Structure formats: C-alpha cells, structure tokens
Structure 1
Amino acid sequence: MKSKLAILMAFLLLLQLTSCNSNKKANENTLLVIDRLGREIHVPKKVDRVVGLGPGSLRTLLYMDALALIVGVEQNEGRDMTRPYNLANPEISELPRIGPQHGGEAELILRVRPDVIFLSFTTMANADALQAKTGVPVVVIETPEMAVEQDELFDTLKLVGRIINKNERANALISYIKTNIEELEERTRNITSKPKVYIGGVSYQGARGFYSTQINYPPFIFANAKNVASEDNNSSEVKGVSIDKEKLLIWNPDFVFVDESGINLVKEDYNSNPTLFHSLNAVKKDQLFCTFGYNNYSTNYEMVLANSWYIAKTIYPDAFKDITIREKLNEILTTFLGRNISLDAFKHSFNKLDKSNL
C-alpha cells in the first residue's frame, strides 16, 4: 500500500514539475496583455503575422507601420478608394481575403496563419468565440471618436505597439496628434470674434443629407469654431444627428461646410428646397466649403486633423496666413500613412463649393 502511495506521489510531483516547466517556457515566449475589453491574453513575444478585423482595425495596423506583417484582409478592404489608407497602400488589394467585413471568417483566417488577430467593435463573447475557433490570440482594440475619446485611441495605439514591437511608432504618432491639436488651440484660443459654422452631410451608418450634422464635430472642436448645433445643444453625443430644417434658418450660419461623403444627398436636399439654402447667410455670401468624409468603416483620424486645419484656415484666415493646406495635408498623410496621396483623389474636399452646381 505504501509502495503504491509513493508511486502516486512521485507521479503527481512529476506532473507538477512538468506543468511548471511548461508554464515557464510559455512565459518566456509569450507576453501577457490586457485588451480594450479587459481580457487577459497571452500573445507571442515575436509577432510576424497579423490580421485586423472590424472597422478601423486594418487602418490602425497601417498607422502603426505594420504593412509587412499583415497577411490577410477583409473582403471590402483595399477596394474602397475613398479611404486614404487604401490609396496609400495599394499592396493590400493583393492580400488574401479572410471573410466579410465586421469580423471575417474563422476558416479563412486560419488559412493565412496569423500570430495575432486584432478585432474591433465586438463583444467579449464574440472575441472569446473567435479565439476558441482559431486557436489564435484575439486582441480587442478600439477605434473611438477622436475629440472626446482621445485617451482610448492612444491606449489602443500603445497596446498594438507593445504587441508588434512598435512602441516608438505609437509614441511618435500620439505625439504628432497632440502637437497638431495643441497648435490649433494656440492659434485660435484668443480669437474673440468667431463666425457661426455648420457642417452638413455628416455620415453615420451610411451617407446622409444636408440636415445630418454632429453636435461634437471634432474638427470644429479642434479649430475652436462656433458650431451652431452645439451652441443649441450641450449633449455629449458623438454620432451624427438629424436636425429640423427650420433650425438652420434660426441659426443662420456664416460658414457652411459639407461632408463630401454626403454631397449627392445634399444636392438632392438643395433641389427639393433651394429657397431654404439661399436664405442662409453662408450661401448668400458664398461661404460654402467641402470637407473630407472621414467616417468610413470607422474614423480616418488623419482626415479629422486635415479637416481641422482646413476649417481653421477658412474661418480664421489671418491666424493661418503661413499655412498652405496642400502642404499641411501632405504632411499629415505622410506622417500617418508613410506615403503621400495625390490630392486628385479627394475631388471636392478642401475646396470651395459653387452653389450654382448644387
């Protein structure tokens, strides 16, 4: 009996030692991270192959200078040429497809053998399920609104940087964003006479018309602009909202900006009620401009900054005499995406709109 007990104890001790050695080896080869949902995940210390699933995930990897690590993309990626990161990285159109947008397909993901899967706009249950199906660490990231959720954005950049060994890149990008916002604030802080501004055609869950706006429109916040929609509503809402037509007549903005993503619907709104448009001071005084539609499969952050500089220079020309929008746009695109993009791709954006062509 004692002999059997001794053998059993020895066997259990051997199992414990084996487990300890296995855990030690795992700890030597993996990194414990906490993703944006608070999940603890062990990822390889050396990551050579990644995929980004969900709105903004691939874009985040490209911001982080990780093109060489990306081994597959969702069906829609690389084909929508209204997204600057697609224009700057034509190589991604040649990568294997790993399923539809908003999460891909487990079987197709496995075929490209990623070391880590980055996933956005998901739940803990869905992330755990994908990890169980693939056996690949799934790290949930955030691609939040830029003006009031900056910390969340910066935390995502740091998290991705830690996993793919791009800490310096994360810090450089965060510093660049902060510097731009601080300079815009410095240039506009003491301007006392601020014209009233309105942004129409703001997209959310698809293109929208002229009466779609944003109470907390980040470029207006960064440019210290007097947004008529927020003057009338102090909500913290960050998504687009629809307003009553009569509101515009009451607000009567001095400058009107149109989000290019909604420009065709704005034209339809104009044709259905041209009298309203021509009653606005901005239209009467030919102060109608077009901004880039940056809400496209989540936020194109570089274009938020580009719009901010364009709007600031438009409404406060004296404070931005030394700024050339073309040069500033080139700088921003190169910093975020590593490459410049032909401005011909932006069509109406960063230009004055001819009201006669609406």
Structure 2
Amino acid sequence: MPRPLFALACLLALLATALPALAGETRTVTDAAGRSVTVPAAPKRLVCLGPGCLRLIAYLQATDRVVGIERFETARRTGRPYNLAHPELLALPVIGPGGPQSIDKEPDLEALLAVAPEVIFASAMEPGTAQRLSDKLGIPVVVVSYGAFGRYDPKVFDTLTMMGTILGREARAKEVAEFMQSAEADVRARAAKGLATPGYVRPSVYVGGTGMRGSHGLTSTDNPYPPLDWLGADNVAAKLVKDGHGFLDKEQLLSLRPEILFLDASGLYAMADELSGQPDFAQSLPAVAAGRVYVLYPFTSYLTNLETIVADAYAAGKILYPEVFADIDPAAKADAIYAFMVGRPVYADMAKDFGPLGRTFPITGNTP
C-alpha cells in the first residue's frame, strides 16, 4: 500500500476506535501482560493473533465477531476442535501468516486495517510488541495467555474472565472454568475410587509422541501429562523428566518398562514406523508384548486444547479403571465435551483424522 493510503487507513482506524471513546463507551482492563488497556465497552469486530487465541473466542461463543483470521488457521486444522467446529471462519479475510514463525511479530498491517477491528487479541506477544502495534494502528491490543507453555494451567481462566469482561461474556467464561474444574474433580474422584478397589494394582504407564512445537516420535513425552495426572497414574516418565517436556533415548524407554503405553496421536505416523520397523525393540516393551497400546488425541496443537484434555482423561480412565469408568462411552463423552466447549460435536472429525479415541493400536503390520 502506498504510504499516503496507508496513513489514511490508519487515520480511519483511529477514528473508528476513537468515536466510542469520545462517547464514553469504553472500559479499561488489565491484560495478561499486566498492561492497562482501554477498549470499547461492547466491541463487535475483533481479530486474534497468535497460537490459541482464536480458540478462546470459540470457548466464549463469540466467533460471530471475528472479522479476519491468520492463514495458519486455514492451512492446518488437524487436532483443533475449535477450528473443526467453525468452518465459517475459513471464509474470512486473512490478516497475516500466523503459526509458530509469527509469534511476537506484527501481522499484515494493511490486511488487518482493511477488516477494521475494534480490538485485537494477541497471544504469546511481548508487552512492548503489543504496545507498539497498538500505537501504530490506533487499535487496542489485548494480550492473552494460557499460562505455562504447553501445559494445563488454570491461569487460562483468568484470561477468559478478562476477555469475557471485554466481550460481555462474563457468564460464559465462568461456565467454561466451572466445566473444566468439575470434569477434573470427577475424573480424580473416579480414579481415587479405582485405586482404592481391593486387589487393584496400579500399572506403570508411559505416553509417547507428545507434541512440542511440532509432532515427534515415541521418545517424546511429558511429565506431568494432564490426563494421566488427573487419573493418579504411575507415569514412569517422571523418573527422567522432572517438569515439562522431554526427549528420552530408546534405552531409557526400555529401562522404564511401561505396562501400558499411550500414543499421543500427533506423532502417530512416526510411532507406527518406529514400532513396526523395529520389532525387537517394540516387543521388549512390556506394554507392546501384552497388547496394551492405546491412542489418545493430541491436546497440544497451536497451544492447549482444554476440551481434548478432558476427553483424553475419560478415555484413559476407562482403560486404567474399567469398573469405575464403566458408564463412560469415550466417543459420546468426547462429543458432549466438544459440543459444550467449542459449540459443535466434532468427535467424528477427530476420529476421521486419528481413529477412535482410546482404541487399541496394533503394532505388527499396522497403519495409523
């Protein structure tokens, strides 16, 4: 865009955001970066920048206010229920590339101004970057956060509360937090009952293929891994990975001797090749020898898909404690979770990509 036209576009954007302020229709919030940001009292046009930001809008049932999206949202949809639930978003104008390479960077300023948002929500953006972008465009930029990177961190509910205040979705933000807290409490209570069952012996478990800035193979793992943590499982990765994500070598994995192996479906193809292509290694794992290898859905895809953590926890619970989770149908439960959290039961779409949730994964001659 020629400089005079860009300056005119900036002026128009300034006027669009300034008029509500002149009428006194604004509110001031403290964003996730600790910045004091003045925003329109009832914004009807918004955009999201950065990983996971658009997901939070879906949780708040405010996707009808989104006026532009990042290209990354349209190009890679696998494992992201919010995107599967809202295909209408794919028809919106593209405002920048998005994706990991665009973290803490400016979007396409010309494209962003063309959709005239009243507020910009941005995740994984440093305070200085957010302020410079806001000053340049004359549009408030609100930083949002999921808390600790790649985790289930209840701090995300503080962000949802703040966003709910801006969007007039306070009640919905509270509903989402209460849903997650209730689900976690239910899973933990069931697991405690299962662990207390006379004669129950807690098996050792391991989850491989966990995502971290991309998909990986069997030796990629996490401790804690929220679904297993909620279930009180004996996650043997804790012996080697103290806090967060880690990569083991095959000898370390063999030394852990997990009795149950969960495969995070984000790395399913790589793990299929590893296990079927190295039969001696595979059969040396007690879980493989016993046929106790199961598939869970990836919950780390463009940051944390909270709803999939819940779906995975119930599916894994049925495997670890079949008696106390006997009333749970993983497919039906996942659909109910997805319907509540993102607005549509998208289990069929997830199963199309990854197969049934909690399925037994064959090792010899398998295909994902």
- Same fold (TM > 0.5): yes
1:54 aligns with 2:62: no
Q: Relative to structure 1, is the Cα distance of residues 198 and 307 closer, same or farther in structure 2, using a 3 angstrom cutoff?
A: same
TM-score (norm 1): 0.88
Q: CA RMSD in A?
A: 2.0
- 8 A Cα contact 1:55 1:143, kept in partner: no
TM-score (norm 2): 0.86
Deviates more, 1:163-172 or 1:127-136: 127-136
Mapping for residues 192-207 of structure 1, pairs under 5 Å: 192=196, 193-207=201-215
Structure showing greater relative contact order (alpha-carbon pairs closer than 8 Å, 6 or more residues apart): 2
Note the C-alpha offset of 1:290: 0.8
* TM-superposition CA deviations, 1:57-106 (whole Å, max 9, x none): 01111111011100000011134231211211010110010011035222
Out of 131, 134, 139, the position equivalent to 2:137 is 134
- 8 A Cα contact 2:265 2:296, kept in partner: yes
Out of 334, 348, 354, the position equivalent to 1:347 is 354
1:85 aligns with 2:88: no
Q: Relative to structure 1, is the Cα distance of residues 144 and 189 closer, same or farther in structure 2, using a 3 angstrom cutoff?
A: same
CA distance in 1, matches of 2:212, 2:174: 30
Note the C-alpha offset of 1:180: 0.2
CA distance in 1, matches of 2:50, 2:356: 26
- Paired residue secondary structure (1:119): strand
- Paired residue secondary structure (1:318): coil
- 8 A Cα contact 2:120 2:140, kept in partner: yes
Q: Relative to structure 1, is the Cα distance of residues 197 and 314 closer, same or farther in structure 2, using a 3 angstrom cutoff?
A: same
- 8 A Cα contact 1:333 1:339, kept in partner: yes
- Paired residue secondary structure (1:68): helix
1:321 aligns with 2:312: no
Correspondence for 2:4: none
Correspondence for 2:339: 334
- Paired residue secondary structure (2:221): strand
Correspondence for 2:168: 165
Correspondence for 1:246: 251
Note the C-alpha offset of 1:149: 5.4
Note the C-alpha offset of 1:217: 0.8
1:295 aligns with 2:292: no
1:160 is matched by which residue type in structure 2? M
2:272 is matched by which residue type in structure 1? K
2:25 is matched by which residue type in structure 1? N
Correspondence for 1:286: 291
Q: Determine what percentage of the aligned residue pairs are the same residue.
A: 32
Correspondence for 1:17: none
2:217 is matched by which residue type in structure 1? G
Correspondence for 1:218: 226
Note the C-alpha offset of 1:347: 2.8
Q: Which runs of 4+ in 1 moved over 6 A?
A: none
Correspondence for 1:98: 95
1:197 is matched by which residue type in structure 2? V
Q: Any stretches of 5+ residues in structure 2 without a counterpart?
A: 1-17
- 8 A Cα contact 2:150 2:300, kept in partner: no
Aligned pair count? Answer: 333
- 8 A Cα contact 1:146 1:218, kept in partner: no
Note the C-alpha offset of 1:340: 1.0
Out of 106, 116, 121, the position equivalent to 1:118 is 121
- Paired residue secondary structure (2:74): coil
Q: Relative to structure 1, is the Cα distance of residues 97 and 148 closer, same or farther in structure 2, using a 3 angstrom cutoff?
A: closer
CA distance in 1, matches of 2:149, 2:97: 26
Q: Relative to structure 1, is the Cα distance of residues 218 and 169 closer, same or farther in structure 2, using a 3 angstrom cutoff?
A: same
Correspondence for 2:187: 184
CA distance in 1, matches of 2:183, 2:269: 31
Q: Any stretches of 5+ residues in structure 1 without a counterpart?
A: 1-21
1:111 is matched by which residue type in structure 2? A
- Paired residue secondary structure (2:270): helix
